[in-house]
Chain A
Amino acid sequence: MSEILLCNKPIKADALAGQCGIDSSMIFGAQCRQPSMLTAYTPYLIGSESSNAAPSNAAQSMVNQLTNTAKNRELTNIALSFGGDNTLAIADISAKLQAAGVATMGPATSFYGNRVGGFTDAVKNYQTALMEYRHVIENKVTSSAIKSAAKQKAMAAFQKMQQGFHHELKSVTGAAKSSRGTPLTSGTRATNIARSSRNVAKLNITSQVQTSNLVKFSQHAKFLGNGLAVIDFASRVGNVHISHKSGQNWERELFIESSSFALSAGTGIATINAGTAALGFLMVATPIGWVGLIIGGLAVVGASAGASMWVNDFAKEDAGNWYDSIMSWIN
């Protein structure tokens, strides 16, 4: 496990020892440099306490990857306001949701879209409630009624997020174990984080996969200030941008992403549209009734999501070849 340190204002390395008990000899920047002054919005690696030796290769490559590709300003702000484990958990969830091909527009009109959008909304609401609570604390409001009302509101938002997205949260927070529980699993801990104002955030990264999830997440998340982060779960533009940045054939990537998007969206929408017409027809022509309508509706949504995911995968495999043959035909 590697610990990454992020801060939102320049801090002297020596001052860290006083602030959070981290010795300055344990801080490593990119390319393994040891800074005397920590720059704001830059990831630093915290070495292990036992040995003063240079950090492992894996840990170094994580810091280099974050320094070079992540949007560290957004990442720092999000890590500070969400808490470190929280940021990792959300980055993992968004990567999972994308991996299932659910950021596609086809199913987005139905079940999965609601799920992705609903999750973003739930996190956002929770976040807003937490920020209100923090605001109350920072302004030193003396009325305990206002304080406890704000805390209640944060807890309620937390409960709502927990109930709605139980499975997603469980699958990611299982990986990020902390003895105190993560803020996503413990409302009390999150309100404690909100109460203390900080300018240094720590991220405990356990694997390379998590690092690249973080990088992707930081590229799609935008911190709007006041604790409001907008998370764009759609990765398609990101893929094109990444291959443009790394000097690959970005036009080809654009073709692949847009054609697989159009095809999977088209398939999903056509299936849903034909399905709803068929259901309405069956409802009048046969005695299926409301129960049949609900079961049929689930079947239509399932078929639509399944078909558009398959089309998305298949189009991603084939679209590269189409692009190549179209280009050779034009030239």
Chain B
Amino acid sequence: MSILSTLFAFNAAAMFVALILYVIFGQVTVRKLRKNPATKDKLGIEFASGWSILNVAQAIALPRFITDKLKQSTISSMYAHTDELVAHTSKFDRILANLFYWLFTGAGLSLALIALLDTLGLFDYIESLA
């Protein structure tokens, strides 16, 4: 198998796991938050159905200094509200959010990075060296 295919396969496996976590996190944590009147309206903008699951994970998983900045932004209504979410979630929920968000974002962005590098011709160049 070429380097590209191997990298892609590992990345794909990580993405599949992340997508399973997506469903679990949605069912376990976000469902609870959607029913809770205190957090119902604080889940951020829903670009597509299920997007608020991402918003919640993002609000919990991103470091505090970033979410504090996002709150001041003029487009802050797009994001979920970190303070309320943290107040209404358990420690397990927050660990799950971190796990899901970083696996998902990591796998997604590295797939995008592989796409970029392949488009620029890096993998063809490596193959030509071997």
**Are A and B part of the same complex?**
yes
Complex CA gap A315/B105 in Å reads: 18
Interface size class of A (residues with CB under 8 A): 20 to 34
Shortest distance from the beta carbon of B47 to any chain A beta carbon, whole Å:
6
Closest to B119 in A: A310
- A295-331 interface bits toward B, Cβ cutoff 8 Å, 1 = contact, 0 = none: 0000000011011001100110010001000000000
> In the complex, which residues 259-277 of chain A have their Cβ closer than 8 Å to any Cβ of chain B?
259, 262-263, 266-274, 276-277
Contact A283 B111 (CB under 8 A): no
Contact B15 A267 (CB under 8 A): yes
Contact B16 A280 (CB under 8 A): no
Shortest distance from the beta carbon of B112 to any chain A beta carbon, whole Å:
4
Interface size class of B (residues with CB under 8 A): 35 or more
Contact B54 A273 (CB under 8 A): yes
Complex CA gap A283/B118 in Å reads: 31
Shortest distance from the beta carbon of B89 to any chain A beta carbon, whole Å:
19
Closest to B76 in A: A280
- A96-130 interface bits toward B, Cβ cutoff 8 Å, 1 = contact, 0 = none: 00000000000011100000000000000000000
B86 within 8 A of A: no
Residues of B with C-beta under 8 A to A156: none
Shortest distance from the beta carbon of A211 to any chain B beta carbon, whole Å:
34
Shortest distance from the beta carbon of B11 to any chain A beta carbon, whole Å:
9
The main secondary structure of chain B at its interface with chain A is helix
Name B109's contact: one of A274, A276, A284 (CB within 8 Å).
Answer: A274
Complex CA gap A307/B116 in Å reads: 7
B12 within 8 A of A: yes
Contact B12 A277 (CB under 8 A): no
Complex CA gap A280/B72 in Å reads: 9
Question: Which stretch (B35-43, B62-70, B91-99) binds chain A?
Answer: B62-70
Complex CA gap A104/B32 in Å reads: 30
Most chain B C-beta atoms within 10 Å of own C-beta, residue among A280, A281, A307: A280
